[in-house]
Amino acid sequence: MRRVLIRVAYDGSAYHGWMQLDGVVTVAGRINEALSDLCGGPIELIGGSRTDAGVHARDNVAVFDVPDSRLIPAEKIPGALNVRLPEDIRIKSGVQVPDDFHPRHCDTVKTYEYRILNSKLQDPMRRQYTRWVRHELDEDAMHDAAQFLCGEHDFTSFCSVHAQSNTRVRTIYDASVVRQADEIAIRVSGNGFLYNMVRIIAGTLIEVGEGKRSAEDMAKVIEAKDRGAAGITAPPQGLCLMEYKFVNEDF
């Protein structure tokens, strides 16, 4: 057997998230179907980030084992899979990795971006990739609030009550809020994220931008370690996994 790491980009609009589930269409499910067809039998796909329904990715990762009987070079696998996949999923690259390599057992830096359409009218062409906010937002106050996220914290306030994690301590390396014309981009990089964490951060920052909270309130929300202290969970379509970087590996 040979273990292969692939990098995947997808539009999550039509999918019930990444993780394969019975009875619903998922990104991993579609890739598994293509892999099984390519390799002539069932393949177990191990994903990096389990994005939710409607969430997009420019750079997610996954690994799987290819039987030695299938003499397919790792770098040829993306092309072989892409002709078997729908147009809203694309395999960007493939590389052979050690047999015991697991993407969730490595030191990583993940970068997510949440996009907000801040305009008086909703744009139907962007409805699946942004969260529309009609009232003008103060992106400078949102950026100031985001700086309180940086560092190592217990992010219980920004975690779904349904999350299953041994610890809710995470490290945020960088956080920013930038406006480009009528769109505001919230970008957060960290060593890991809890269930719905970025969407709750986005919902809380939107409340700061609306003037419902001050930038300094973000520190109080973190200290509370209480989901009720943070804002709403922003809808999924504005969220995209932008980069999945391995700290100690070149692939």
pLDDT tens per residue across span 223-233: 999 999 999 99
- The residues annotated with a catalytic role in the active site are 52
Tracing tokens 């906010």 back to the chain, one arrives at: 133
Q: Quick one: what percent of the chain has pLDDT higher than 90?
A: 88
pTM of the model: 0.96
What whole-number distance in Å separates Cα of residue 179 and Cα of residue 173? 20
pLDDT tens per residue across span 88-146: 999 999 999 999 999 999 999 999 999 999 999 999 999 999 999 999 999 999 999 99
Q: Which two tokens stand for residue 105?
A: 């057992």
- Please give the CATH architecture assigned to the domain spanning 2-105: 2-Layer Sandwich (3.30)
Main-chain dihedrals φ then ψ at residue 171, nearest 5 degrees:
-115, 125
Are both 2-105 and 108-246 of the same fold?
yes
Q: In the predicted model, is pLDDT for residue 163 greater than 80?
A: no
pLDDT tens per residue across span 183-201: 999 999 999 999 999 999 9
Q: Quick one: what percent of the chain has pLDDT higher than 70?
A: 100
Nearest one of 3, 105, 77 to 44, comparing CA atoms: 3
Domain ranges of the chain: 2-105, 108-246
Q: Domain 108-246: which topology?
A: Alpha-Beta Plaits (3.30.70)
